[in-house]
Homo-oligomer: A and B are copies of this chain.
Amino acid sequence: MRISQLAAATGVPVATVKYYLREGLLHEGERTAPTQALYDDSHVARLRLVRALLGAGGVSIAQARAILAAIDEPPAAIHLLATAHNAITAPLDAAADVDEVRAITSGWGWRTESCDPAVLGAVAAGLQGLRDGGFDLAPGVLDAYGRAARDIAQAEIDGIPTESAEAAVRYVVLGTVLVEPLLLALRRLAEQVVSGERFGETGPLGD
């Protein structure tokens, strides 16, 4: 398969395929001459994955490179999740109030001692974002978020394939990135469904 066929098979323009090759998101084809190469199904699959990450997954080229590197060269199984999360989590903001997060989550019985500080920082940044926007969560809602997050994590960890490091890494890394838009959309849909049940067709103010 030559580059134009690869492009046709995936719907990605040839120029963009070349760009991904240059950026290291796509492995090179097999050389048949100094200026010619052949591509195969592995390139088609990888190209679809790259597009899914950049499109639906909403990650940048640089993040995609980190994610793909994690998939290509599975790190030691220790801290597998931290590796996956590091590929997409912003570096820890020094101003983030991690202690507050530890206090809240320990109230839920979460043991966060060995968690990645960057993820704790991301939670702290999320809470700070609410405050910056002058938004106060109704009482109990944060607890509901914690319970829901734990339920989700429970199901996901149960589902991690254990037969090989490659499969586990792939599942965790892609699950982290690609599932996020789905979760957010499901939340919005559930809000509309629950709102309909609670208030009928009229919305929360009754009209």
Contact = CB atoms under 8 A, between A and B. Distances in A.
A80 B159 contact: no
Contacts of A94: none
A165 B206 CA distance: 10
A33 interface: no
* Number of identical monomers bound together in the oligomeric complex: 2
A203 B84 CA distance: 12
B127 A168 contact: no
A186 B126 contact: yes
Interface string A180-205: 11111111111111111110011111
Given A115-B193, A137-B179, A138-B155, 13 more contacts: A48-B133, A49-B132, A56-B126, A80-B203, A112-B192, A123-B185, A123-B189, A127-B182, A137-B159, A143-B155, A146-B186, A172-B204, A176-B191
